[in-house]
Amino acid sequence: MGYVMLPKNQNKHCTKCGVLKDKSQFSPHKGTKDRLASWCKGCHNQCVKNYYKKFPWLGTLIKIKSRCNNPKSGNYASYGAKGIQCLITKDELKYLWFRDKAFNLKNPSIDRIKAEENYTIENCKYIELIDNIHKAGRESRQGKLLQQFNLAGKLIATWKSCHAVERKLKIKYGGVSACCTGRLKKYKGFIWRYYLTK
Ligand SMILES: [Zn+2]
* Mean per-residue pLDDT, 152-163: 88
Ligand 1 centre to CA of 194 (Å) is: 51
* One domain, residues 169 and 134: no
Residue 157 lies in a domain: yes
Residue 183 lies in a domain: yes
C-alpha pair distances (Å), 34 with each of 26, 27, 42, 59:
10, 11, 19, 31
Q: Which of the two residues, 81 and 98, has the higher pLDDT score?
A: 98
Question: 47 C-alpha to center of ligand 1: Å?
Answer: 10
For the ranges 28-32, 83-87, 132-136, the lowest mean pLDDT is seen at 132-136
The Cα 152–Cα 8 span in angstroms is: 68
**Is 90 within a domain?**
yes
Are 62 and 137 part of one and the same domain?
Answer: yes
Q: How many domains does the chain have?
A: 2
Say which residues have a Cβ less than 8 Å from residue 152's Cβ, sequence separation at least 6: none
Cβ neighbours of residue 139 closer than 8 Å, sequence gap 6 or more: 115, 197
Q: Count the neighbouring beta carbons within 10 Å of the beta carbon of residue 179.
A: 22
User: Each residue of 37-90: pLDDT tens digit?
Assistant: 999 999 999 999 999 999 999 999 999 999 999 999 888 888 998 899 999 999
Inside any domain, residue 117: yes
Tell me whether residue 25 is in a domain: no
For residue 8, tell me if it sits in a domain: no
